[in-house]
Amino acid sequence: MANNITIGILTGGGDVPGLNPAIRAVTIRALREGYKVIAFRRGWAGIVDFIPEKNADNSNNIQILTSEIVNRAGRTGGTFIHTSRTNPSKLKRGNVPEHLKEKYTQDVNDVTEDVLNNLSYLKIDYLIPIGGDDTLSYGYRLHKEGIKVIAIPKTMDNDVPGTDYCIGFSTCVTRTIEMTHMLRTSAGSHERFLVIEVFGRYAGFTTLLPTMAGAADRCVIPENPFNIEHLTELMIYDRNHHPSKYAVVLVSEGATMVSHSEMSFEGQETDMFGHKKLGGIGDKVAADLKELSPKYNNGRPVAIVNQRLSYLVRCGEPDALDSIVPMAYGNIALDLIIAKKAGRLISLRNGIYDHVPLDIIVGRKKVIDVAKYYDTERMRPKYESFIKQPLFIMTADD
C-alpha cells in the first residue's frame, strides 16, 4: 500500500450543502489507500496565510484530516474547513498576511509564488479544490504552474462548464420549490403577487428548473433582459385565472430589465474576483409590479408578497443527491490520483460520471440556451421533448 502521497483539499466561494460529504469521501478513500490528507482552511486563504517555518502555529491555516473528523462532519451542511473568496492572484494589501507584508506592497498583489512555495514545503502531491468557476480558475492557474490539480465543481447556480451537475444545485432547487409552495399560502390568502428572488448571477438554472416543476407561473433569468410592463400584464392574467387570485414569479438575482441594463447590487464593494454582492432585483420587480398593476387591473393595485430566499437555500443539510454525488466525485478524485492523472475536472454528463480537461473552466461560460429552453414572450420554460434529456433537463453543455 502506498503511503507517500499527500493530498491537499480546500473549499472556496459560497458554502453549499454537499461540501462536507465530498471532503469525507476524499478523505476516507485516501486514508484507505495509505495517503495523507491536509485541509487548507478558508479556501485559498489557508495556503496564502500558511507560514513555512517549523515552529510556526498554522492551526488556523491547515488541518490534518482523519476518519473521525470527517465522519462527524460528513452528514452536515456547509464546510467544516471553512471557505472564503480569496484570490491569490489578486490579493488586496489588507489581506496580505503579516509575514509577507514587506514583500507585497501593492494595492493588489499576485502572491502565487508563495502559494507554490507553501505547497512545496508541505510536500503536496495532489491538490483538490472544490468550488465554482472563480475558485477553480485559480486552480487552473496552479495547474499551469505545474501543480497536480483535480477539481470538483460546486455552485448552487450550476454554472460550471463541462458538467451537468455542481454540488449544491439539487438542494437549492429542492428548497426553492418547497419554500415557494409554502409562501403560496400567504399570497393566496391575500390575493397578492408573490415575488421570490433566487440565486443565479449569470445563469438561470435555479430559476428556470423550479418554474418548470410548477413552483411559479413566470420567471425571469439573467440570460434575457425582461420588460417589466409585459411581466405585469402576464401576472395580472395569471392572477385573474387562478382560483385563489394570486400569481407567482421567480426572479434570478442576476436578472436585468430592458430599461436598466445593470444588475442590482447590495453595495459597490467587490470581492477578489471582481464581483459585487448581488441583491435587490426582487425588490425592484415587486415595487414596479405594484405600481404598474392598476394599468392592467381596472385601476386597482395588486399588493405584493416579496421574499429573497438567499441563504435559506444555502444553509442546512444536503438532500439525497447532494449526499450521493459528492461521494462519487470524491472517489473519482482518488481514482484519478491512483491512475496518476491530474489537470482534470470531475463531471457528470447525461447521468454518467466522468472527468474532462481542467482548461474548460476558463474556456467558456455555462448559461441557459434561451432559444432552446426559455419562452421570452411568455416568460416561462419551454421544451420539445424530455426524451434523452439529462436528469435536470437543461444542464448539459451543447
Q: Strand (E) positions, 158-203?
A: 193-198
Measured CA to CA, the distance from residue 121 to residue 126 in angstroms comes to 13
Closest CA to 288 of 208, 233, 216: 233
Measured CA to CA, the distance from residue 162 to residue 325 in angstroms comes to 16
Long-range contacts of 58-64 (CB under 8 A, 24+ apart): 62/38, 62/122, 63/38, 63/39, 64/36, 64/37, 64/38, 64/39
Closest CA to 223 of 159, 160, 132, 311: 159
Residues in the chain: 398
* Cβ atoms of residues 78 and 15 within 8 Å: yes
**Catalytic status, residue 238:** no
* Cβ atoms of residues 39 and 63 within 8 Å: yes
b/e per residue 124-141 (b: at least 16 CB within 10 A): bbbbbbbbbbbbbbbbbb
Q: How far is CA 382 from CA 142, 203, 370, in A?
A: 40, 16, 9
Helix (H/G/I), strand (E/B), else coil: 268: strand
The 6-11 sheet, strands edge to edge: 62-64, 36-40, 6-11, 126-131, 150-153, 344-349, 352-357
**At CA 343, angle to CA 27 and CA 346, rounded to 5?**
55
Which residues have C-beta within 8 Å of that of residue 101, sequence separation ≥ 6?
A: none
Helix (H/G/I), strand (E/B), else coil: 91: strand
| Catalytic-role residue among 157, 217, 238, 322 | 157
List the end-to-end C-alpha distance of the chain, in Å, as a whole number: 42
The residues carrying an active-site annotation are 157
